Structure 1
């Protein structure tokens, strides 16, 4: 991971998390796999619904774009609950590219892109990975592959089922971390019809259920309690103290999200000659959500159609052109039984359509200097379709240029510079903290412009025989940044900031190969947010972080360990102000620094069978240890669940096996 930023064949700085590292970390899903990567922060933004946000270069989670085999298959809604359900079984590697314009196909990636690359079968076989954790948590991952005798057809089937238990660390009857159960199926077929034609078909299905809130309950009991008595309790906690026993009705703290996600893509690559090839990609995904938020039900279907025709043409030894056209057509429709009962309810359904053309010239200026110049021209149209929202909110044409430069100072030192513009349409209330919880009268919109960004990054890499290191610096500013407020009547209002928001980020990663058996690594990160950006955050981001790692391989034994330190923060800078007891006992706005440690030990019994044991957060630190439950009363006396600044899950152990044939 720490050496990957020095890839000499990449113009833009790219971190790569490969299959071996994914297994070493016992990463069950995407967020676990990349959480220790430099410049990546996985933010837990709700103790009840467990929503996870992937932040790149200090940007917010909605500024990161997830690609599957280079195709942007994820809808806007899929970036909130579905990211924690993306399985790692069958994944060859995960590529993280930071900075606006990190992908020709994803100009909305203001923070950067995460490209999940499927494993290409090399032979017929089967792999099974099983583990058990404490408290009924588990992982079962299976991958079967079939390769034809002539090797023209390569197919695979992946099934992963995993579960993470509900946790109540302070025993007040309300969970700090929800139950989460995910099931994934992925079928992939790659066939070479001719020596110059390859077609890849991929179909995937994800079923994810999250339940947070009352302990020893389920969604059936919670909904029954709401049907039987929908009136709010006079008191939710003993003595009105969120640290004491929950005495309300189950529905009053229940947050339940059931997600079903289906996707399909076809990619046809044709080689016209040794200097010209073209790829046609067609993709579709459907994200369906059924949810219950403390008495407010919300269901939505978000459907995406995507088309891309890309051409690569080698002009001469110095220039290669990449050019093409793509389109994104997304339609989201939502409904609420509770909301529809109100005469004033306004839904948040929208249509979002983008057509774009792009051109890139990759120029080998000399043996030492390589330059990539790219530009996209897009027409973006966003329309909230409720009758109460007449007109089209956004209808703009955007030019998004990007420049990447790589310079080889010598055989060991490499510099990379990237400058680019990006844009995105802020359309979802899930982008902001609990924008959906107060939506009894619907959703108010004050959006009429695209968010637009300018990003610049610099990376200096050193690659020696034993020592490797990369220093990265980044600066990003965003205009028209989305923000959540409320109307005079208390309805959630999605609006935009008038001032420019900016963040500067810096990190350095070092890897040292001590000998043939032991590799050590370290990374240090720092982020500097301006006041405008701080105001936009619902959950305080990390400002300083350090990661240490050790990877030891000797004979049949493998030992991996990582330790992560997060620096202290002043939560008041991010608007934290609340009470433990109704109208008294203010919560602390000081977040102290803390360490977490993960370890895994693997023993290869035979070439086909491995046994392993490990643990996560072995320091057993959670913010509940500081007597700071994420539950709180705000200054107006309302109850909420997102006073979060540290880990909410403590020490967890697991034991497992991996078997291949």
Structure 2
């Protein structure tokens, strides 16, 4: 039975990939939609209905309907995820009320080397992917440290890219009232055993003012090369090389501005295949990430401060799946990761010095090594009952050994109704920045910011469970999930702000922050989703998340989170004439934040519209309005209506 199930999973995934490459025009009866397949939740191919985890798949067709030129837009309709803007820079990417740095972002299963403080980790990544190369996005809500290790307390976002093989390509142009983008992907087709594909994107971000400061504006450049070699039947060698260059500027105040020059290069190889026993893959990849930031007086252009940060990441991982008898699929895997971080913002041991234009900074280097082994069993106890236990051992050179485990189960009451449950443990090791930060910054003429790391930090640990019911009946479907996450030693930046009157200089503001462990926190809530087909053309979908996130020692609600998030979505699809439209309204209420040491709440109602037209198999265009009613909220960073549109040409 399991061997047949494994074969069925493989055929379903192949059919799904083929179905989504047909420009979204194929009839549903002729192709299986990728929406029904997920590989992230268990590291093996599973149907969404079968896997115990709470998962959601955003297909290439969904991305095109949304006119999404970045990941933040592609994730807007997803359940249980927060993609609010983070001030004037980037977006959050937090799942189920956990912090943004507790979401693990992957590209084709590879870890993304990004900034590594709790204030910056993942904030920029939703703007750093060329959407022309994305095939689908898999979201797993809930802790999956038993398979992916650290950073996966809240869940995983895995971006699956298109694989080279069929000659052709895509050219796209997008325009919004905030930025403009031009991108492409060109598949050279197969030449002998090799197939190659190129992709690139240029983004030009406009300046937006907020008081005396602005957002980061300027240009971003992306370039990628993907290759696939057919080594033998059912055996492939994949190659990739990606490059990112960000040339940005930000007005900090009337007197100061900062240049942000960021460069990231990644490359790697993966060997994968299938045989009678199961499937396997082994990969190695390397990432170099350099951040060079310089602050100058806007009038004299004299350098006032600078920061250099360089990351080098080396990763090797692999897994092997065995079909054991008629009831078990066993997966074993491992990972080794070395991360080198050299920065003027950290201090450890004997720091060296670096000088720029007469200003001298200390610079330190930290190396962190990670090793892991994991084991998973997909046990089909009966035709209706699936059990998936998994366990992972992680070793960190600073924090020693950690074992995490998970047990997930799906029980099918009938073909169209099922119960799902998961219970497990998770952890996140502190980053080098959180341990050794030593940074003083003067963003304005009257303000000084001091942030200190804490070498005594403990890893964050959690015990979590969720219970869910799912059902479909005709044109109606629904999901209900309760989740509960108990977190120990939650890492938090404890910040105090003081104001002092300096004779002859006026008011001076000092912000002092230090990373600390919060003893205990509980994050729990409900997720609801309902979908109703309305006639031939319309579908109504609604999602709701209730969140109760508290510091157990004070019973205070954790800031940066909303108690209620509701979305009502009306979708129109006329495939015969190539029209798609989505009108949706998001309600955010009970959003907790702190202002002048006082706990406060806010909320907002935001309406959005996007219309997509496919003129033929080659040309499509979209038009959209975000924040249709022109709402503004300084806390949630809504600053008015955003117009957007774009054109895509397939060839």
Verify the 8 A CA contact 2:146 2:425 in the aligned structure 1. Answer: no
Identify the match of residue 401 of structure 1 among 386, 390, 405. Answer: 405
Verify the 8 A CA contact 1:512 1:521 in the aligned structure 2. Answer: yes
Partner Cα separation in structure 1 for residue 207 and residue 182 of structure 2: 19
Structure 1, gaps ≥5 residues long: 215-245, 382-393, 579-587, 625-644
2:588 corresponds in structure 1 to 567
Partner Cα separation in structure 1 for residue 182 and residue 434 of structure 2: 30
1:230-309 to 2 correspondence within 5 Å?
248-249=254-255, 251=256, 254-271=257-274, 273-292=275-294, 295-309=304-318
Q: CA deviation at 1:528?
A: 0.5
Verify the 8 A CA contact 1:27 1:33 in the aligned structure 2. Answer: yes
Verify the 8 A CA contact 1:2 1:511 in the aligned structure 2. Answer: no
Q: CA deviation at 1:45?
A: 2.8
Partner Cα separation in structure 1 for residue 169 and residue 234 of structure 2: 29
Q: CA deviation at 1:464?
A: 2.6
Q: CA deviation at 1:212?
A: 3.0
Partner Cα separation in structure 1 for residue 520 and residue 37 of structure 2: 33
Verify the 8 A CA contact 1:296 1:440 in the aligned structure 2. Answer: no
1:543-554 to 2 correspondence within 5 Å?
543-554=563-574
Equivalent residue of 2:73, what SS? helix
Farther-moved stretch of structure 1 (601-610 vs 110-119): 601-610
Partner Cα separation in structure 1 for residue 356 and residue 457 of structure 2: 25
Equivalent residue of 1:110, what SS? coil
Matched, 1:141 2:145: no
Identify the match of residue 512 of structure 1 among 514, 532, 537. Answer: 532
Partner Cα separation in structure 1 for residue 265 and residue 165 of structure 2: 26
Q: Normalising by structure 2, what TM-score?
A: 0.80
Equivalent residue of 2:72, what SS? helix
2:102 corresponds in structure 1 to 63
- Residue deviations 1:541-591, cap 9 Å, x none? 2221111222212233423224333333364xx43227xxxxxxxxx9654
Identify the match of residue 182 of structure 1 among 216, 220, 224. Answer: 220
Equivalent residue of 2:64, what SS? helix
Q: CA deviation at 1:184?
A: 1.5
Farther-moved stretch of structure 1 (453-462 vs 334-343): 334-343
C-alpha change, 1:39 and 1:467, in structure 2 (3 Å) is same
Verify the 8 A CA contact 2:86 2:637 in the aligned structure 1. Answer: no
Q: CA deviation at 1:19?
A: 1.0
Verify the 8 A CA contact 1:188 1:203 in the aligned structure 2. Answer: yes
Partner Cα separation in structure 1 for residue 544 and residue 258 of structure 2: 36
1:652 corresponds in structure 2 to 642
Matched, 1:595 2:605: yes
Matched, 1:370 2:386: yes
Matched, 1:206 2:244: yes
Q: CA deviation at 1:55?
A: 0.4
Verify the 8 A CA contact 1:75 1:330 in the aligned structure 2. Answer: no
Partner Cα separation in structure 1 for residue 621 and residue 378 of structure 2: 46
Matched, 1:416 2:459: no
C-alpha change, 1:651 and 1:494, in structure 2 (3 Å) is same
Matched, 1:612 2:651: no
Q: CA deviation at 1:539?
A: 5.9
Partner Cα separation in structure 2 for residue 160 and residue 19 of structure 1: 18
1:331 corresponds in structure 2 to 340
Verify the 8 A CA contact 1:339 1:441 in the aligned structure 2. Answer: no
Equivalent residue of 2:615, what SS? strand
Verify the 8 A CA contact 1:181 1:210 in the aligned structure 2. Answer: yes
Q: CA deviation at 1:347?
A: 5.3
1:218 corresponds in structure 2 to none
Identify the match of residue 157 of structure 1 among 194, 198, 201. Answer: 198
Identify the match of residue 576 of structure 1 among 573, 583, 595. Answer: 595
C-alpha change, 1:519 and 1:533, in structure 2 (3 Å) is farther
Equivalent residue of 1:526, what SS? strand
CA RMSD of aligned residues (A): 3.4
Partner Cα separation in structure 2 for residue 611 and residue 113 of structure 1: 31
Matched, 1:474 2:483: yes
Q: CA deviation at 1:431?
A: 11
C-alpha change, 1:306 and 1:425, in structure 2 (3 Å) is same
Equivalent residue of 1:79, what SS? coil
- Residue deviations 1:242-269, cap 9 Å, x none? xxxx7x41x1xx3543321111121101
Equivalent residue of 1:96, what SS? strand
Matched, 1:321 2:333: no
Verify the 8 A CA contact 1:331 1:350 in the aligned structure 2. Answer: yes
Structure 2, gaps ≥5 residues long: 1-33, 39-46, 297-303, 346-353, 443-447, 499-509
Partner Cα separation in structure 2 for residue 147 and residue 314 of structure 1: 34
Q: Which has the higher strand share?
A: 2
C-alpha change, 1:605 and 1:408, in structure 2 (3 Å) is same
Identify the match of residue 351 of structure 1 among 367, 381, 387. Answer: 367
Verify the 8 A CA contact 1:503 1:533 in the aligned structure 2. Answer: no
C-alpha change, 1:568 and 1:110, in structure 2 (3 Å) is same
1:86 corresponds in structure 2 to 129
Q: CA deviation at 1:462?
A: 1.1
- Residue deviations 1:609-649, cap 9 Å, x none? 1233222111111215xxxxxxxxxxxxxxxxxxxx22334
C-alpha change, 1:79 and 1:570, in structure 2 (3 Å) is closer
Verify the 8 A CA contact 1:348 1:442 in the aligned structure 2. Answer: no
Between 1 and 2, higher relative CO (CA 8 Å, sep ≥ 6) is seen in 1
